[in-house]
Structures are given as structure tokens and as C-alpha cells.
């Protein structure tokens, strides 16, 4: 067998990306293509009174103006088909939020389309809008049926010798992937082709088939290269439907790219959360009660709920627990999954509260976590498929030098800087979904492995090539991995850190099936086949190619609980007079099962940690609570980390064998990197300053 798994190989698609050969959704230049520009609502609630498109239609190059007044009626798909946004554009004149897509101008050039959209005049019948979550907090409902309870948390908390009872808040955040959402739509009779920026092409195929009442096979979706998504490209957002409607109406392909400003309205966001965490403990730090509850923003055209209590059910051993995360429906755009949804904001609250408890019982924060270490899953009592969180604490803490920490706040200084050390745990569930794959070997010994999955920067094509190569016992250079096309075998959405486990298992199984099929041709044991055997066997039997296909499914009942784990140790420096927080170094250790490629794994962890730094110190979408609009809808005012913000980050890959989670022992690592970074930084800030910030981001004014 030729070893390939785990090697830090370069990305197989890297050259295409850096040379510009890789085509993204908006770069497919079809013949006679027209361009769409969106018109967005300027009110948060009400109905459209009138649309005056006279000037727009007379504008140079404008082909059509489409709105609810003249758009074809589409079928209503099954609930959840569009994922986090069940609003069908142009269905009627009702307005649910500022930025709702209410019309599209189609023109011969992008510039003409934009100018035409500027000329569309809309008047409204405005109604009172629900904007401020605090105003409607009493109307929160548990839409996701998230409530969990064991023991008697209220009674146990009331009688606990040590109590922490605090409220933590996280703000609205937007994904802002480097590549804006875009789509090129083209019709040929009743066949629709979409070049979409998507992490869920089969979901898009299914949705469009239902909307336009055509067979699913008539919808062809391609999305080979995606310039980042972070969860925002998992749903079928209105612009995709609008482009398809426009293309059919004008009888020519239509390209529609959402502008950076428009991305803040109607393409998903991480909702604001308010979380109460109540910890009851004995003086030795042992938890006797844990209550985690609160609320987050939702709306009436989406069924999404931010499950911020999920990590609470998986991280610490406690006999009495209550958790629930209701939502408040507001006249704001639909929230959606954003890297580590639920776990990311939820762990900020839990890990901040644990740090507060550590100070209350005068115990080292790492030791407190070890005292409450969960040897089985706290929610269901299942044994872990594997768990190496203790090793994460040990290895990251040792590398960081945690033993030299003076626990007293404001006790560590360097010149005029206050120095703070903080830490936090990380966890994320290991998911797997049904996936199909095909593998075809040609007589020259080269293999094409096909699966309709997605590549959003994770390195999917690279690690799948490595997995297929090692399973077949051939060099990686002989493997070509096809993806990003609904003409290929079906794959799930690339989200929830499930791609490596789901697609990887299918690739592993189809490679073994292909190997066995070729061995059966020659009547030999598959174990006896070497890299040179394939060409010899196919030539001997006059075969130009051999193909295998599998439909891989996880077991219906999982006997084990699967979670990835990690630990972050952070040092901050804060000027004692002007309290700007500078993250000096981060040491993080992760146990995510088998690592398929060390280089791409580190890249995923680095990206998550940097995004977590942004969550802690910078990222916040400001909401005008009177108008229902976001006010910092550009990169000048919506702050994200730059190179100057990121200093030293060290990643430790903790070896972890997992024979239970799936056949290849992979847990998924795309999201756990961000989980726990914000509380680790917040805890370090408290250690430096003695000021506890419970409302992200941590800005200067909160430390003054």
C-alpha cells in the first residue's frame, strides 16, 4: 500500500485557483447573457403600494423589470426545501424585512442593470415593525423544540453552595465570504442550468424542480469552485430563484451577483443571542446544576433557530441540567448557519461562566474542567466513540506554559501592558450523512472518482484523492476527483463538518468496491493487488475500464456519541491606559479523529481560530432599532481580522484513533477551530484587567 492519508500534500486545485483558471459561478460567460440587478425593500414591514418602473424600462439597455406585479407564479415547495428562507420572491407585495428582494432589472450589461434598478420607484403601506428583540422577549417560543431536562436543575441550583448566574450576549454577525453570492441561470425548453455559488447543489436542484414544477432531472446545478461560504451558501436564497425567473422571462441566460451591501440583507447571518447560564457547584468545583437558556432572533419566513444550548449537552458531567433556546420572530432578514452554529455562541456563554466559577471556587480553570470531565455523553449517556480532550488540555497547556500563570487578575505585566492568560474548551459533533460515489479505473491504471460534493476551500478534492489513492494502493497522481455537479452521484450539503466523514466514507467504500471488482475479474484476492496489478489485469482481460458505485449510509442507530474536541490557550496584552486588546499568541490543541491531510487540516484550524478572534474583538453588525436596517454594511465598518491582528497561532494535532465513529475514523474539523476562541480571549481579558466582558465583541469602551 502506498501511504497517502495524512500527508501534507498541496491542494490539487491550487494551481487552477492561483492562475485564474478556476471558474466561479459569476465567471461563466454564456452566449447572449443578460445581467440582473436587484431592487430591495426600504421598509421592515408592510406592503407594496405601487412600483413605478417607467423610467427604468426606458433606460439604456434595460430588457425587463420583473416584480410581483408581472412575475410568474411559482409552486410553493415543501417546508424546509429552501432551508433557512421559505420566502418565495415576487410571490406577493408583502414586506417582511428591509432588504427583501422585491424586483429585478434585467439589462444587456451589468452597468445598465444597476442604473435601471436605481430608477425603480417603490411606495409602501408601512406597518409597525418588530425590530428590537428586547421589546418582544416575552413572545419567545421554542421553535426548534430544543428543551432538555434531567434531574431537578432549579432545586439543585437553589441549594448549591456556590452559584454563578450571569447573562451573556453575542451580536448579529455576517458571513461575508470572499466570493459574493452569484448565479448564472439558463433555460433550454423546460431544462434549467444553474452555475451557482453553493454548498448544497442537490438541495438547489430539488428546490428549483419544485418551484418550477419540472422533473428534478431537468435541473442541472454546477458549483465546482466556491470562494468561501461559512454556512451562508447552504440555502436557496431568493437571488437564485430570481435569476431563474428572469432567465425564463427574457428567454436568455441571466447572470446575477449579489453586491457586498446586499449580502447583509437576505443571505443569512448569525443571529443575536442572549444567554443566561446558571452554574451551581460544590466548593470543590463539582457541578451540581447547570441551567442554560435565553433567546435569539428569528423571523416569520424562516424556521431557523440558533441552537446555542447544543454544546451544553455535550461538554460537562452534571446530574441536574435544564437547557432551552427559544426564538423571537422579528422583521429582520432570515438567520442561518454560520460556522459552528449553536456551538460558537453557546460555548462563549458556557466557557465564560466556567471561568467565573473557577475564580469563585479559587481553582485553576483547567482543573475545574477536569473535575467536571464528562466520561460519557451527558445528554444521552452513550459512550464516546473516542475522546481526547484531556490530552488537548495537557498538550496545549504545556506548550503554552500555563503552569507559570499567576491566577490573580492584573498580576501580570510587561511594561505598560497588562498581560492576561485565558483558556477554554472546544467541542463539535461528528456528523455523517448518506452519500453516493462512483469510481472508474481505465486500463492505464488511472482512476476517476466522482461525487457531487463541494469545494469551498476545505481541500475536499485533495483529501478525497489521497483517500482513494491509499485505499487502491496507487500514487495520488493517478487519481482525479470530480465534484460540484448534480450530474454526479449525490452528496449531502457541505456543512456541519460532515463532508470528510460522509464523502470520505463513500470514497473509501467505492475504492474498495472497485478493487474487489477488478480482483474478481482475475480471480485473485484483493489484498494481493498492487499498483502495477491494475493495468496488467485490465489488459489481460481486454478491458478498457472498470466501474464501481456505492450508496453509503450511516447506521440507523448510533451506539456511540461522536464529538471532536479541543482546547485554546490565549495570551492578550492590553495597554493600561488605552485598553486596546492585542492577542499575542494562541496555542490550540485539537482531537478530530483521523487527519486526512495535515496541511489542509491546519489550514482549517487556522481559519476557524482567526474567525474566532474576529468574533471576540471585532465582528458586529449594527442594527438600527427604529428602521430595522443594518448600518455598517461594508468592509470599512464591518470589522474582520487582518494580518496585523493575527500574531502567533500554534496548532497541535492530537493523535486520535476512532474505530467507531465511521469506517475511516474521521470526525470533521471545519468548524471546531472557531469554537471556544471567543471565551478564551474574554477569559484572558478578565485575567489581564479584572473586568468581565459578557457582551461581544470586546471593544475599548467596554474596558474603560
β pairing state of 101-107 and 182-188: unpaired
Q: How far apart are CA 363 and CA 407, in angstroms?
A: 9
Instruction: Tell me, yes or no, if 671 is annotated catalytic.
Output: yes
Name residue 651's beta-bridge partners.
588
3-state SS class at 605: helix
Q: Out of 379, 656, 671, 701, which one is annotated catalytic?
A: 671
In the chain, % helix, strand, coil (3-state, to 5) comes to 30, 25, 45
For the stretch 421-448, what's the b/e string if a residue is b when 16 or more beta carbons lie within 10 angstroms of its beta carbon?
bbbbbbbbbbbbbebbbbbbbbbebbbb
Q: CB–CB of 372/353 below 8 Å?
A: no
Q: How far apart are CA 98 and CA 107, in angstroms?
A: 25
Question: C-alpha distances in angstroms, 340 versus 322, 373, 692?
Answer: 22, 22, 24
Classify the phi-psi angles of 651: left when phi > 0, otherwise alpha if psi is within -120 to 50, otherwise beta.
beta
The 3-class secondary structure across 212-264, one letter per residue, is HCCCHHHEEEECCCCCCCCCCCCCCCHHHHHHHHHHHHHCCCEEEECCHHHHC
If you ran DSSP here, which 8-state letter would residue 76 be given? P
Name residue 222's beta-bridge partners.
195, 485
Tell me how far the alpha carbon of residue 700 is from its chain's centroid. Answer: 29
Q: How far apart are CA 704 and CA 700, in angstroms?
A: 6
Helices and strands counted in the chain (H then E): 17, 27
C-alpha triplet 502, 507, 511: angle, nearest 5°: 155
β pairing state of 629-630 and 623-624: antiparallel
- Phi, psi dihedrals of residue 270, rounded to the nearest 5°: -85, 125
Q: CB–CB of 174/638 below 8 Å?
A: yes
Q: CB–CB of 163/446 below 8 Å?
A: no
Q: CB–CB of 460/454 below 8 Å?
A: yes
Classify the phi-psi angles of 213: left when phi > 0, otherwise alpha if psi is within -120 to 50, otherwise beta.
left
Q: How far apart are CA 637 and CA 632, in angstroms?
A: 5
C-alpha cell at 12: 490539487
Tell me how far the alpha carbon of residue 545 is from its chain's centroid. Answer: 38
Count of CB atoms situated within 10 Å of the CB of 58: 10
Q: Using CB atoms within 10 A of its CB, is residue 657 exposed (0-12), middle (13-18) or buried (19+)?
A: exposed
Beta strands in 68-190 (DSSP E): 94-95, 101-107, 121-126, 148-150, 162-170, 182-188
C-alpha cell at 480: 482525479
Q: Using CB atoms within 10 A of its CB, is residue 337 exposed (0-12), middle (13-18) or buried (19+)?
A: buried
- Phi, psi dihedrals of residue 141, rounded to the nearest 5°: -130, 150
C-alpha cell at 537: 489485469
Catalytic residues: 671
Amino acid at each position: 500500500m502506498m501511504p497517502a492519508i495524512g500527508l501534507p500534500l498541496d491542494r490539487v486545485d491550487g494551481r487552477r485557483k492561483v492562475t485564474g483558471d478556476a471558474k466561479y459561478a459569476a465567471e461563466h460567460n454564456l452566449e447572449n447573457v443578460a445581467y440582473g440587478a436587484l431592487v430591495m425593500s426600504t421598509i421592515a414591514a408592510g406592503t407594496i403600494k405601487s412600483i413605478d418602473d417607467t423610467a427604468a424600462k426606458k433606460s439604456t439597455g434595460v430588457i425587463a423589470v420583473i416584480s410581483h406585479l408581472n412575475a410568474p407564479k411559482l409552486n410553493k415547495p415543501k417546508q424546509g426545501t429552501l432551508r433557512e428562507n421559505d420566502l418565495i420572491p415576487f410571490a406577493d407585495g408583502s414586506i417582511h424585512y428591509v432588504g427583501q428582494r422585491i424586483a429585478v432589472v434585467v439589462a444587456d450589461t451589468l452597468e445598465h442593470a444597476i442604473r435601471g434598478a436605481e430608477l425603480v420607484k417603490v411606495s409602501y403601506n408601512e406597518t409597525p415593525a418588530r425590530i428590537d428583540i428586547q421589546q418582544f422577549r416575552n413572545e419567545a417560543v421554542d421553535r426548534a423544540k430544543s428543551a432538555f431536562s434531567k434531574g431537578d436543575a432549579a432545586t439543585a441550583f437553589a441549594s448549591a453552595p456556590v452559584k454563578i448566574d450571569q447573562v451573556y450576549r453575542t451580536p448579529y454577525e455576517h458571513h461575508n465570504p470572499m466570493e459574493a453570492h452569484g448565479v448564472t441561470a439558463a433555460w433550454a425548453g423546460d431544462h434549467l442550468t444553474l452555475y451557482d455559488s453553493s454548498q448544497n447543489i442537490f438541495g438547489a436542484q430539488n428546490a428549483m424542480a419544485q418551484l418550477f414544477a419540472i422533473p428534478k432531472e431537468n435541473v442541472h446545478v454546477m458549483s465546482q469552485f466556491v470562494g468561501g461560504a461559512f454556512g451562508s451558501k447552504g440555502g436557496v436564497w431568493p437571488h437564485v430563484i430570481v435569476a431563474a425567473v428572469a432567465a425564463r422571462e427574457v428567454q436568455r441566460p441571466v447572470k446575477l451577483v449579489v453586491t457586498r451591501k446586499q449580502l447583509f440583507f437576505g443571505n443569512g447571518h448569525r443571529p443575536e443571542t442572549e444567554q443566561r447560564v446558571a452554574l451551581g457547584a460544590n466548593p470543590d468545583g463539582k457541578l451540581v446544576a447547570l441551567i442554560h437558556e435565553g433567546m435569539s432572533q428569528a423571523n416569520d419566513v424562516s424556521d431557523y433557530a440558533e441552537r446555542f444550548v447544543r454544546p451544553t449537552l455535550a461538554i460537562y458531567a452534571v446530574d441536574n441540567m435544564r437547557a432551552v433556546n427559544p426564538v423571537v420572530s422579528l422583521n429582520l432578514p432570515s438567520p442561518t448557519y454560520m460556522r459552528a452554529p449553536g456551538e460558537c455562541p453557546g460555548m462563549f456563554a458556557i466557557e465564560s461562566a466556567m471561568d467565573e466559577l473557577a475564580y469563585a471556587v479559587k481553582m485553576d480553570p483547567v482543573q475545574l474542567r477536569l473535575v467536571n470531565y464528562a466520561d460519557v455523553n451527558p445528554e444521552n449517556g452513550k459512550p464516546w466513540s473516542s475522546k481526547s480532550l484531556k490530552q488537548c488540555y495537557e498538550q496545549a497547556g504545556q506548550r503554552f506554559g500555563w503552569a507559570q500563570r499567576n491566577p490573580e487578575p492584573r498580576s501580570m505585566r510587561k511594561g505598560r501592558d497588562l498581560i492576561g492568560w485565558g483558556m477554554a474548551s472546544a467541542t463539535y459533533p461528528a456528523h455523517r450523512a448518506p452519500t453516493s460515489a462512483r469510481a472508474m479505473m481505465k486500463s492505464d491504471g488511472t482512476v476517476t472518482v466522482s461525487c457531487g460534493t463541494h469545494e469551498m476551500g476545505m481541500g475536499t478534492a485533495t483529501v478525497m484523492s489521497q483517500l482513494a489513492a491509499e485505499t487502491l494502493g496507487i500514487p495520488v497522481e493517478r487519481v482525479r476527483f470530480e465534484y460540484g455537479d448534480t450530474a454526479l452521484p449525490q452528496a449531502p450539503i457541505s456543512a456541519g463538518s460532515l463532508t470528510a466523514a460522509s464523502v470520505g466514507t463513500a470514497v473509501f467504500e467505492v475504492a474498495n468496491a472497485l478493487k474487489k471488482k477488478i480482483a474478481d475479474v482475475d480471480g485473485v484476492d484483493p489484498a494481493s493487488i498492487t499498483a502495477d496489478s491494475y493495468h496488467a489485469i485490465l489488459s489481460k482481460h481486454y478491458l478498457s475500464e472498470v466501474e464501481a458505485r456505492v450508496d453509503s449510509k450511516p447506521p440507523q442507530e448510533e451506539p456511540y456519541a461522536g464529538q471532536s474536541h479541543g482546547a485554546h490557550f490565549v495570551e492578550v496584552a492590553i495597554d493600561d491606559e488605552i485598553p486596546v486588546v492585542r492577542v499575542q499568541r494562541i496555542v490550540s490543541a485539537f482531537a478530530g479523529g483521523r487527519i486526512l491531510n495535515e496541511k489542509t487540516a491546519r489550514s482549517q484550524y487556522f481559519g476557524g481560530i482567526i474567525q474566532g478572534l474576529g468574533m471576540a474583538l471585532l465582528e458586529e453588525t449594527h442594527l438600527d432599532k427604529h428602521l430595522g436596517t443594518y448600518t455598517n454594511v461594508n468592509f470599512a465598518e464591518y470589522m474582520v481580522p487582518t494580518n496585523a491582528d493575527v500574531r502567533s497561532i500554534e496548532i497541535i494535532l492530537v493523535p486520535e484513533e476512532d474505530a467507531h465513529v465511521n469506517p475511516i475514523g474521521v470526525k470533521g474539523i471545519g468548524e471546531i477551530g472557531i469554537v471556544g476562541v471567543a471565551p478564551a480571549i474574554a477569559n484572558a481579558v478578565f485575567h489581564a484587567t479584572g473586568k468581565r466582558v459578557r457582551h461581544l465583541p470586546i471593544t475599548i469602551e467596554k474596558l474603560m
